[in-house]
């Protein structure tokens, strides 16, 4: 069995474990994305992780694991901003998996958003549903149903820098590793945590948490 076939079987297994209905086209798009990420990473340093298997476990499966929890909590959130997206994680994965979501990726590093733009160009299924913004988040002007981040900043900085990007009644969701109690304690007085979810990422023996926050009424 080839390395590609092994990766395809592993991806199917993970999708089944997470109860994600993965089509052949989506599987192919995820494999193509990983190939492109590994290729660009040799020159542009998009991520510190360079081993293919670790890219799958720490980036792709990690991003996939958030989707079922988001569908449960954010059923009506269809326009999503991925802040500090880097090489498009988790935004690219989410756009591939959810044809009903419009996902914007934002990062202040030009080469990273140039890469995401290339991914969009090379992935027909996300055309018209995905955008790459090269700007500082404080200067961005769009508004969203859900603003998310993954390893971007402290919770306090995240909500302070992005509160102008929330539509009325919208909220934030942050992906974290270790339980961030100190960051939660440091949140602004008008922001509250209203839901948390511990993720179990297949093939990854590390903590993962989703933290949902909103402006207090």
Q: What is the DSSP letter of 89?
A: T
pLDDT < 50 positions in the chain: none
pLDDT of residue 183: 97
The two tokens of residue 217 are 């009424």
The two tokens of residue 187 are 């949140």
pTM, two decimal places: 0.96
Domain map (residue ranges) of the chain: 3-215
Q: How far is 148 from 158, CA to CA, in rounded Å?
A: 9
Instruction: Give the burial string for 142-156 (b: 16+ CB within 10 Å, else e).
Output: eebbbbbbbebbebb
Domain 3-215 bears CATH identifier 3.40.50.150: yes
Q: How far is 110 from 113, CA to CA, in rounded Å?
A: 5
Q: What is the CA radius of gyration of the chain?
A: 17
Q: How far is 97 from 105, CA to CA, in rounded Å?
A: 15
The two tokens of residue 27 are 């599987």
**Tell me: the pLDDT tens digits for 75-101?**
889 999 999 999 999 999 999 999 999
pLDDT of residue 50: 86
């Amino acid at each position: 069995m080839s390395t590609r076939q092994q990766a395809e079987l592993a991806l199917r297994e993970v999708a089944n474990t997470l109860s994600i209905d993965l089509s052949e086209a989506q599987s192919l798009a995820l494999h193509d994305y990983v190939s492109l990420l590994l290729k660009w990473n040799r020159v542009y340093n998009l991520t510190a992780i360079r081993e293919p298997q670790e890219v799958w476990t720490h980036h792709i499966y990690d991003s996939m694991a958030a989707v079922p929890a988001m569908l449960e909590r954010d059923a009506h959130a269809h326009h999503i901003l991925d802040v500090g997206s880097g090489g498009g994680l988790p935004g690219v994965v989410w756009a591939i998996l959810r044809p009903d979501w419009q996902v914007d990726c934002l990062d202040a590093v030009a080469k990273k958003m140039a890469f995401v733009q290339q991914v969009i160009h090379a992935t027909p299924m996300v055309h018209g549903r995905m955008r790459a913004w090269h700007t500082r988040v404080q200067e961005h002007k769009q508004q969203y149903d859900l603003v998310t981040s993954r390893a971007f900043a402290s919770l306090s900085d995240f909500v302070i820098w992005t509160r102008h990007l929330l539509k009325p009644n919208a909220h934030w969701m942050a992906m974290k590793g270790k339980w961030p109690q100190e960051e939660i304690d440091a949140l602004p007085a008008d922001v509250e945590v209203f839901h948390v979810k511990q993720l179990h990422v297949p093939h990854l023996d590390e903590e993962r948490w989703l933290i949902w926050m909103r402006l207090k009424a």
